[in-house]
A and B are shown apart, each in its own frame.
Chain A
Amino acid sequence: MDWKTVATGLLAAVVLLGTVVWGQFGVQIQAARSRSAHPGMDAEPFFPAPSPVADALAGAVRLRLEQLAARTAPVEPTDGEAPADGEAPADGEAPPAVERPLFDDVELEKRFPALADLGDGKRWFVSVYHPTPGKGASGPWVSDVADGPAAAASAIWDRLPVLLADEGFPAEARIKVDELVGGERSFPADGGYKGVGLDEGVDGIVLRHEKYAEPFYYLPSWSIEREVKRAGVHGRARKNARTLARWKKKHTKEAEFAAIRTRAWVESKRGGGELLPTQRGNTDIAAVDAKLLRERILMARDYMTRETSDAGKITYDYQAAKDELGGGYNILRHAGTAYSMMQGYRLEADAPTLEAVKRAVGYYRRKMKEDPKHEGEWFVLDGRRAKLGGVGLGLCMFVELEKAAPGSVDLDLVLGMARHIERMQLPSGEFRSFYNWHGKGVTNRKSIYYSGEAILGLVRVYELTGDEHWLDVAERGADFLVNKRWVALGIRFYVPPDAWLTQALEELDRFRPDDARADYAFALGEVIARNKMMDPEVTPDDLLGADLARLHSLPNAATAGAFGEALSAAARLEARRRPGETKYLDWALKNAEFQLRNQFTEANSWYLPNPDRAHGGFRLKQDNAEIRNDYVQHNLSGLFGLLDILDPTAADIGEVTFEGAK
C-alpha cells in the first residue's frame, strides 16, 4: 500500500467533508461571528432591578399628563353658580378651558425626590401607550427626558391625536421608562447575515447624522411591539427616523449607526400601577406553581369563551398586534379548542363557558356526516375531506363535555364516531388518515398526529362508557405506532414529537399497562426535550424551556403549548411508573414557564391596540402576536395536565366517569 497516496486521498476527502459541513453550518458560524458582546452589560441581569429613579420619572410624567388632561375638562359650575365669567356657554359651544395646576420640574422634584438622580450623564426615555381598539396599532408616543420630565410629558401630550387627548387619556394610558445603559456596539448593516448581528427586542439602534443635532433612538421594545424580525430592525430604525423624527431618507442611509441597550420598566396596568421590569417586549412572571397555573388556565378559557360566536365558531386567528382577524378555519382545531375549554370548565364551572362550548359543539355537529355506506357511523368534514383527527378530537370534545355536564351529549353519536375510527383501522392496527366517503379517492398521506388523536379519543370513550372494546381498538392502534411506525429492517429511523400520542399512551397505560408503550411515551418526551433550552445557567431568562429556532426567528410558543401537553403527560406517566424521578416534571415545568411568558396578561400587553381582547390568549412567538385558537388549546391543555400533577385537588385530565369505575 502506498500510504502517501492514501493520505493524499484522505486529505482530499477531509477537505470535501469540511466543505459539506461548512455548507450546512458555515452560515451559522459566520453569523455567530458577526455578533459581539454589548459593552458594559456583563453584570446586567436580564430583567432590570427596580429603580427609584424610574419610579419617580413615571410618576412625574403621569402626574403632568393628568394635569394636562385635566385642562381639557369642561368647567363644572358649582351649585347655583355660573362659570367664572358669569355666562353659560351657548348651545353647541365647547365650554372654555380653565387654567389648572401644571407642575414644572421643580414642583415635580419636590413630589418625586428621586428625580434629582435623573442627570449624571444618563439618558432616559418615556413612552406612553394607549389602547385603540378597532383602529389598529397607534403610538407609542415617546420623548427623551433630556429637558426634564415636565417637558417630556408636554412633548408627548402635544403629539397625541386629537381624539385621544382628553381628560380620560391618563386613566387608559400606560407609561414605559427606558434608561440607556452600557456602551454602543457596532454591527453589520441590517444586522449582517439574516440580521443575526441584532437581537430583536433586546437591541435598539442609535442613528447619527451631521445634519441633525440630536441622534435618533430606536428603542429595543419597538421590534416586539411592531413584530419586526431581526433582519428588519435596522431598516425599521431608519424608517422610524423618517416618520417620527422627519429625517430625510438619504440621511437615514448615510447615518452612522450602532446598537444600544436599555433597562426598561412599564406600568403594571392602565392608569398606572407599580413599574414592572421588562425585556424583549415582555414582563417577568412569578415561579410556576399550582395557583399560577390555575389562574392562567382560566384566563385562557375565558379568552376562548369570549371568542366563541353565537353560531359556535371560535375565532380562528386574531392578529393581536394589529387588532385584526386573519382568515381560515379548521374543524380539527375547532374541536380541540372546545375540548380544552371544557377542561377549563372542569377546573372551575362557569356558565358562559358551558354555553359557548355547547354552541361550539353545535357548530361541529353541523359539519358531521353519517357514513353513506355504513349507517350509524359518523365522521366530520373539513371542507370536503374526512380527516381521522377530526373525529378523534371531536370525541375528546364530546366526552369532555359529557364528563363535566352529564346528559349534554348524544351518546349514540359518540359511539358512531368511535365505530368510524374502528372502521379506519387496518388489520395491522394502523389507521388510515383520510376517509374516502365520496368514492372519488383520497390522498394516501399518513398524518403524523391523527392516529394519536384517534387513540386518545377512543381512550376517552372508554373513560366515559367503560366499554373495553374501545380500549382494544386503541391498543391495536397504539401498538402499531409504537412498534411498526417508521421501523423497518431492524431500524427505527424516526421518533416524531407526537404530543397527542404521548397523551394517549399515558392514559392507555392507566388501564392497559405495557412497558414498550410506556418506554415509547418517554422516548417521545426525550425527543421533544432534546431540542429545548433547559439550562438556566446559559439561557436568557425569557427563553428557558423554549424550543430551538431558526437563525432569523425567536422560539415558537405555540409549539411549546403542544409540547407542554406531551411533557406533562410524560411527567404523569413518570410519577406512576418511576416514583421518585422528576426528569419529565422538571422539563414540563420549564416548558410551562416559557408557555406562561407568551400568554397575554394585563402586565405584558401594554403595547397592544386592544389588550382586553387578547387577554388570556397565547401568541405564536414573542415577535409575532398572532393568537390562533389551537395555540390557546395546546397551551391550556398542557397546563391543565401539569396542574393535574401539582395539585391533587385539581381535575384529573383522564378522569373515569362510567358507573362502577374504581
Chain B
Amino acid sequence: MSTAKKDVMVGAFVAVAALLVSALLAVGGLNEMGSGQDDDIWTGSQFASLAGLGLLLLVGGAVRGWMKREDGPWTLSLVGIAAQLHFASCVTVFALAWDNGRENYWEPGPFGVLIWCWSLAALLAFAAHWTAGRRGNPASQMLLGVAGLQAIGSVLAWMYTWSGWLQGLQGDIGRALFLATHG
C-alpha cells in the first residue's frame, strides 16, 4: 500500500471510529434513558463525554482528510457522513433527555455540550462534503444538500435560544394551529 493511500486510510479509520461513537451515543440514548431518574444507567455527563469524544474524532478525521484531500476525497466524505450521523445522535439524545424530563436532573452542561456538538458536527459535515464533492466524490455531492439543511437547522436552533422574533414565530404557529382546530 502506498504512503498516500495509508494516509487516506488513517483518516478514514478515524472517521469510522467517530461513526461508531455516534452510533453508541444514539443507542445509549434510546436504551439507557427511562422515564424516571432511577431508570438511568448513563448520566448526563457520560452522554456529554461521548458526544464530545465523537466531535474530537470528527475534527481529527477532518484535519487528516483536509491535509490529504488531493490524494482522495473519500476520507472527507466519510468524515462528512460520520458528522451527519453525529448530528442526528446528539439531537436524538437531547430530544430524549428533554422528553424524559432530564432537564430537572442533569446539570446544564450536558445539554450545552450536546447543542454545541450537533452544531459543529453539522457545520463540519457541510464543509467536508463541500470539499469532497468539489473533488468529484458522488456520495458527498448527494449528501451536500442534507448537510446544508442540517447546518441551517443548527443555526436556527441556536438563534431560537436568543431571538425574540423566532420565539414569537413559534408562538404564532402554535396559535394559528390552535385557532384552526378550535372554534
Contact = CB atoms under 8 A, between A and B. Distances in A.
Contact of B109 (A447, A448, A488): A488
Interface in B95-132: 103-105, 107-113, 115-116
B112 A11 contact: no
B146 A486 contact: no
Contacts of B133: 1-2, 6
A16 interface: yes
B146 A13 contact: yes
B161 A491 contact: yes
Interface string A104-122: 0000000000000000000
Interface in B135-183: 136, 138, 141-146, 148-149, 158, 161-162, 164, 167-168, 170-171, 174-175, 177-183
A129 B177 CA distance: 36
A9 B142 contact: yes
B141 A9 contact: yes
A651 B132 CA distance: 71
Contacts of A543: 182
B46 interface: no
Contacts of B113: 488-489
A646 B37 CA distance: 45
A493 B108 contact: yes
B37 A444 contact: yes
Q: Give the most central of B103, B167, B170, B181: most A CB within 10 Å.
A: B181
A538 B177 CA distance: 12
Interface residues of A, number: 53
Given A443-B37, A445-B37, A530-B170, A494 B181 contact: no
B5 interface: no
B108 A447 contact: no
A491 B163 CA distance: 12
Contact of A6 (B145, B177, B180, B181): B145
A554 B181 CA distance: 11
A633 B161 CA distance: 32
A476 B177 CA distance: 41
Contacts of B171: 530-531
Interface stretch (A25-33, A233-241, A357-365): A25-33
Given A445-B37, A531-B171, A538-B179, A493 B109 contact: no
Interface in A488-540: 488-494, 526, 530-531, 533, 535, 538-540
A370 B170 CA distance: 48
A447 B104 contact: yes
B144 A488 contact: no
A494 B141 CA distance: 36
A97 interface: no
Given A9-B142, A202-B183, A489-B116, 17 more contacts: A2-B141, A5-B138, A6-B142, A9-B141, A9-B146, A10-B146, A10-B148, A17-B149, A28-B177, A486-B111, A489-B109, A493-B115, A494-B103, A526-B167, A530-B170, A531-B174, A548-B174
Interface of B: 37, 103-105, 107-113, 115-116, 133-134, 136, 138, 141-146, 148-149, 158, 161-162, 164, 167-168, 170-171, 174-175, 177-183
